[in-house]
Amino acid sequence: MKRILVTGGAGFLGSHLCERLLNDGNDVICLDNFFTGCKANVLHLMNRPYFEIIRHDVINPIFLEVDEIYNLACPASPIHYQHNAIKTVKTSVMGTINMLGLAKRVGAKILQASTSEVYGDPQVHPQPESYWGNVNPIGPRACYDEGKRCAETLCMSYHQQNRVRIKIARIFNTYGSRMSPNDGRVVSNFITQALQGNDLTIYGNGQQTRSFLYVDDLVEAMVRLMNTGDEITGPVNIGNPEENSILELAQLIIQLTGSASQIACRELPLDDPTQRKPDISLAKALLHGWEPSMSLTKGLAITIDYFKNIKSHR
Ligand code: NAD
Ligand code: UDP
């Protein structure tokens, strides 16, 4: 039985990962400061004997004995990570140093949750891992983008200098149950708005694109990446190569909810990327043919059901 630490384990992605790792027969420690995560996300795991929760902030060191670390602690939606930009940078930089230091001390393997945001507003499309990105280092998204870029640098440096076994997952927009309804992300906003009969707020003209991955497909890829051989260290894109405009997403959510909501355009936030689509050739090659298995229509239908019943979940 492996003892596995999941930082940010009470968040959207972390809670699904904890559940999967427990179901695989591991001993799971969920570490979280509950900034954007909540106990409700892991309530259903609390009576499992091999699950424990630690309230802790990753910007402070912690001494634990573990075999593997999934480092997910970091607010992920623009309104959350911009709420306290300095704290966001500290979480990515100091938090990742602390987790890499822990990995080094105990000889654990560590997987860093990086992001497609390292590509910024990409001028290469779709984005392969070899693309260095187009990030504004002083813009409103910089605390997140640059923090995550620095976290990747730290991972590579600890690997090269201290032989820490590292994995870097560059995660593209992921959606599913346990997204926070008020996190301002496009999927949660649109579903909430459609269910309440409010206008769906499209920022800009809705022609910007994203590629949406269902949470179970992401978790599968993360676990497979962690289990690759020690020679695999560089970043790997984990995302859905199917690309949709934000307008298409709004129309699909209106259709799936059967809502009478209309679409209303709002100002596009500064530095909002115009396009995003992963090249997943590397993931397919390294992760035993991994590719997304959930269609957007079905994944959204499941997520809409979750949001309908959210009061009983939280
Ligand atoms: P989330 O906000 O639901 O989860 C983040 C979790 O980290 C929360 O539980 C939060 O309380 C915790 N946290 C934040 N700062 C912390 C700190 N200083 N110490 C301890 N815990 C802290 O977001 P998510 O969507 O589940 O994202 C999880 C990870 O995946 C993040 O690192 C994010 O950058 C990355 N990611 C997510 C997406 C996506 O589409 N969801 C895309 C790319 C990357
Ligand atoms: N977006 C939108 N309406 C909303 C929320 C977001 O049109 O109510 C747009 C946003 O401007 C961006 C895209 O949807 O172009 C994805 O936004 P999100 O915050 O979910 O993710 P990110 O921009 O970090 O990829």
Give residue-wise pLDDT tens across range 297-306: 999 999 999 9
pLDDT for res 314: 46
Q: What is the arithmetic mean of pLDDT over 84-109?
A: 98
Residue with the smallest CA separation from ligand 2 atom 4 is 186
Ligand 1 atom at minimum distance from 75 CA: 2
Atom of ligand 2 nearest to the CA of 116: 25
- Residue whose pair of structure tokens reads 């695999």 in the numeric block: 232
Ligand 1: does its nearest atom lie under 6 Å from the Cβ of 212? Answer: no
Ligand 1 neighbour 73 (Cβ under 6 A): yes
Pairing of strands 263-266, 200-203: parallel
pLDDT at 311 over 90: no
**Burial environment of residue 81 by CB neighbours within 10 A (0 to 12, 13 to 18, 19 or more):** buried
Nearest-angstrom CA–CA distance, 58 and 146: 18
For 202-221, b/e burial (b = at least 16 CB within 10 A) is beeebebbbbbbbbbbbbbb
Q: How far is CA 86 from CA 93, 140, 189, 191, 295, in A?
A: 11, 12, 25, 30, 37
What SS3 state is found at 185? coil
Q: At a CB cut-off of 8 Å and minimum separation 6, what does 173 contact?
A: 116, 185, 186, 187, 210, 211, 212, 213, 239, 276
Q: Mean pLDDT throughout 260-286?
A: 97
Q: Best of 6, 13, 59 to mutate for ligand 1, by most ligand atoms within 8 A of CB?
A: 13
pTM: 0.98
User: Of 178, 173, 171, 192, whose CA–CA distance to 38 is shortest?
Assistant: 178
Q: Are 129 and 225 in contact (CB under 8 A)?
A: no
Task: Please write the tens of the pLDDT for every residue from 52-84.
Answer: 999 999 999 999 999 999 999 999 999 999 999
Two tokens, residue 38: 């909540």
Residue 310: is its pLDDT beyond 90? no
Report helix, strand or coil for 260: coil
Query: What CA–CA distance (Å, rounded) separates 104 from 102?
Result: 5
221, 278 contact by CB (below 8 A): no
Structure tokens at 264: 């209303």
Helix (H) or strand (E) holding 164: none
pLDDT given for residue 312 in this prediction: 47
Q: What is the mean pLDDT of the segment spanning 160-167?
A: 98
Backbone angles phi, psi at 235, to 5 degrees: -65, 145
Ligand 1 site, residue 99, Cβ cutoff 6 A = no
In the chain, pLDDT over 70 holds for what percent of residues? 99
The string of pLDDT tens digits covering residues 25-45 is 999 999 999 999 999 999 999
Residue 289, pLDDT score? 97
Q: Distance between CA atoms of 264 and 217, rounded to whole angstroms? A: 31
> Residue with the nearest Cα to atom 34 of ligand 1?
76
Ligand 2 atom index nearest CA of 206: 7
Chain mean position to CA 253: 21
For ligand 2, residues with CB inside 6 Å are 77-78, 173, 185-186, 189, 201-203, 208, 210, 246, 269, 272
pLDDT band at 20 (very low <50, low <70, confident <90, very high): very high
d(CA 292, CA 272): 25
- Residue 313, pLDDT > 70, answer no
The dihedral sign for the CA sequence 187, 243, 18, 169 = negative
Q: Which atom of ligand 1 is nearest to the CA of 38?
A: 9
Instruction: Tell me the pairing of strands 209-210 and 244-245.
Output: antiparallel
Q: Which CA distances in Å does 128 have to 8, 131, 223, 239?
A: 27, 6, 21, 11
Is the minimum distance from the CB of 11 to ligand 1 under 6 angstroms? Answer: yes
108, pLDDT greater than 80: yes
**Cis bond leading into 273, ω under 30°?**
no
Going from the Cα of 220 to the center of ligand 2, the distance in angstroms, rounded, reads 25
What is the pLDDT of the chain when averaged over all its residues? 97
Q: Name all domains of the chain by residue range, CATH numbers in brackets.
A: 3-175+213-240+277-293 (3.40.50.720)
Q: What tokens does 18 get?
A: 């904890």
* Active-site residue set: 144
